[in-house]
Every structure is written in C-alpha cells, then in structure tokens.
Amino acid sequence: MHWIWSWSFAATAATILSGALAGRILVRSYCLVSFLMVGLIYPLGAHWIWAEEGWLGQLGAIDFAGSGAVHLMGGSAGMLGTWYLGARAGVFSPSGRYFPTRSSPLNSIFGCILLVIAWISFDASSVGTISGGNEITAGLAGTNTAIAAGTGCIVGIMYSVVMHPAFVDTMELVTGTISALVAVTASCASVQPWEAAIIGILGSIAGILSGEIFIRLRIDDPVAALPCHLVNGFTGVIFVGLFANDPTKPGNEYIYSTDSSTPGLFHGGGFRQLGVQLLTAVTMVVLGAGGSWIILATVGLCMPVRVTEEEEKRGLDEVEHNAILVRITTTDPIEPQTKEERKSFRRRKSSRMIAP
C-alpha cells in the first residue's frame, strides 16, 4: 500500500513538469528528464518530510498529502523548465501580447472533474490505513478536499463573470478549482471544514491572480501549472502553519499532527509551526528548481531537449506521434476559381453551408 501511494505521488510530480513544458519538449528527452526527476530528486523531498528520520519531519513539518513534496516540487521544476526552454513560438508577440493556445473547453472541464474525484481519494488515502479511528481522519481529509474544490470553483466563476460578464472563461474556472485543491492538500486532515472553505477561496484567488502575473512576465505555461502547483504548493504548506488545529482539544482527537508539530498561529501555537512550514516550502523550491536545472542541463549535453522551430510549426502530434488531425497550409481566404466552383460556392452559401 505504501509503495503504491508513493509511486502515484512521484508520478504526479513528473506530470506537473510535463504540463509546464508541453508543446516544446521532445518526448524522448522528457522521458529521461522525468525518470531522473522521479528517481533522484523527488525521493529526497519526500524522505525529508515523510520519513521518520527525515530532518523536516523531525522538526514537525506537516504535509499530509503533498502540497510541498509533490506539487511545490513539481511546480518548482516546471518553473525552471519554462525558463530553460523558453516560450513556444507565437505565444507572445514582440510587444508582449499574449496569444494563448488551449485545448477545448469540454476537455478542460472533463479533465478537471476527473482530477477532483481522484484528488479526494488521494488525500483521504494519505492516512495510510482506515482502522483504529483513522477512518475518521480519512473522512475529514476527503470532506475538506471536496469543500475546498467547490469554493475554488465558485471563486473562478465569480472572477470570470466580474472581469468579462459576457462569458465564463473555463480556464479560470479550472485554474480556481485546481489551485484550491493544491492549497488544501497539506492541511486537509488538520483543519475544520469551514477553514478548508477559506483555504479554497484564498488558494483560488492566489492561483488566478498569479497566473496573470506570469503572463505579464512572459512566462509560457500552457496548462497553468505554475499558478496552480508552484504558487499554491507554497501557500498550501504555509496554510498549515496558520490553520492547523490543536489535536489535544476536545473534539479534535482525529486531527492529524506529528509528535514534533504544534498548532497553527490561529489556534494558539505561536509562530513555531509557521516557521517550520516556511522552511519546508523554501527547501522544496530550492530542491525542485535546482535539481531540475542540473537534470535539464545534463540531458541537454547528451541530446536535444527542445523541438526545432519547424517541428513546432508542424505540431508535436505529427512530429512525435505521427498523428495528424488538421494541417493548415495557408491562411489566405479560399476563393473559387473556375465557373463550376463559383456556381457550387453560391449554392452552398445560399443554403448556409460552410465553403470548403
């Protein structure tokens, strides 16, 4: 059970990196980078936080389901990777204007729903075993995860309606939801449901607003991996130092804590736990970004990492996977040339059909 749990978390850290680098990294290079990331870098952070002899864990660091060890680690690696590879061609104009390339709203929403369902299971299963009262802790973790996701989704919708009343931007909805999930992951078993709602709101706001900042900095992040995982991986670790409940108080018997941890600042624990959580967050950023830089630089010495400009124009579906959906050969309007083509065009136009 523990091996499967650790394996799935390690794989998640690698997928965060893939999202940040999507559209411009060669598949064979990414396979090697992710292998080294999961095999060498991720285990260090996970060991430091979760192992009995881990130095951060001995200090009292709480990261129940991986805001730091998984999401902040992967987000930090993605941040370094986007700098190393640069932006995709055409995403930013010379003047800095942003031209996003996104998937369909249906795919985004469907993927978000799958993530929410899986996330509840991920967080609840982090208790390790559902016996001896741990089932209540698991239930609390799952409940808080669901509540945070809901409040994050609401914030994403409200932000979209306020900023552009004519439509709801599905990207902002998804970003708000995923940001809230990452923000509550570290503390989902250490806070009350109403506190999880607050964390979801704050995490959603942090994710959406920081996404705008990354765009202004001309950082190309195709799937908003940095605002969701980097920013809210950091805030999620910090929220423990603010909201972690005191397990010694009546009614809090099933609140998660460690032998060395203390309650958060808002529950009378002072600044100690907040300081430990801040140290944990900074450590994960340094480890994730520094480790990924070493790996990318090393792999870059052995093989190309980024696709060529011509390959990027053709699209990685075709170049890397031999899958072609649509190929655009010209952007000029298609005009009928012969007499027969003109007659056919007029017939189609009059019947409200689209010209080929």
pLDDT for the residue 180: 98
pLDDT for the residue 20: 93
The whole-angstrom distance between residue 70's C-alpha and the CA centroid of its chain comes to 10
CA separation for the pair 143, 123 (Å, rounded): 10
State how far the alpha carbon of 26 is from the alpha carbons of 49, 79, 254, 276, in Å: 32, 18, 47, 38
Domains annotated on the chain, with CATH:
2-310 (1.10.3430.10)
CA separation for the pair 198, 164 (Å, rounded): 25
Tell me the pLDDT of the chain (356 aa) as tens digits: 678 888 889 999 999 999 999 889 999 999 999 999 999 999 999 999 999 999 999 999 999 999 999 999 999 999 999 999 999 888 888 877 887 766 678 888 999 999 999 999 999 999 987 777 789 999 999 999 999 999 999 999 999 999 988 888 888 999 999 999 999 999 999 999 999 999 999 999 999 999 999 999 999 998 899 999 999 999 999 999 999 999 999 989 999 999 999 999 999 999 999 999 999 999 999 999 999 999 999 999 999 999 988 888 787 888 888 877 655 454 444 455 566 655 554 444 333 333 33
Buried b (16+ CB within 10 A) or exposed e, 56-65: bbebbbbbbb
DSSP 348: H
Locate 268 and state its tokens. 């009378």
Which residue blocks in the chain are alpha helix, DSSP H? 2-20, 27-36, 42-50, 55-59, 73-85, 105-125, 134-163, 170-185, 193-216, 225, 232-243, 272-302, 309-314, 316-321, 339-350
In terms of Cα–Cα distance, which of 293, 283, 292 is closest to 45? 283
State how far the alpha carbon of 18 is from the alpha carbons of 10, 68, 78, 222, 247, in Å: 13, 18, 8, 10, 38
Q: What are phi and psi of 158, to 5 degrees?
A: -60, -40
- State which amino acid sits at residue 225: A
User: Cβ distance 253 to 247 under 8 Å?
Assistant: yes
State how far the alpha carbon of 336 is from the alpha carbons of 124, 320, 326, in Å: 62, 35, 21
The position carrying tokens 């993927």 is: 111
CA separation for the pair 198, 196 (Å, rounded): 5
Helices (H) and strands (E) in the chain, counts: 15, 0
User: Cβ distance 299 to 293 under 8 Å?
Assistant: no
pLDDT for the residue 297: 95
CA separation for the pair 274, 258 (Å, rounded): 14
In terms of Cα–Cα distance, which of 141, 125, 115 is closest to 6? 125
In terms of Cα–Cα distance, which of 61, 36, 37 is closest to 50? 61
pLDDT for the residue 324: 73
Locate 280 and state its tokens. 């944990």
CA separation for the pair 312, 221 (Å, rounded): 16
User: Cβ distance 119 to 143 under 8 Å?
Assistant: no
pLDDT for the residue 107: 87
pLDDT for the residue 113: 95
pLDDT for the residue 248: 93
Query: Degrees (nearest 5) of the Cα angle 274, 276, 282?
Result: 100
pTM of the predicted model as reported, rounded to 2 decimal places: 0.88
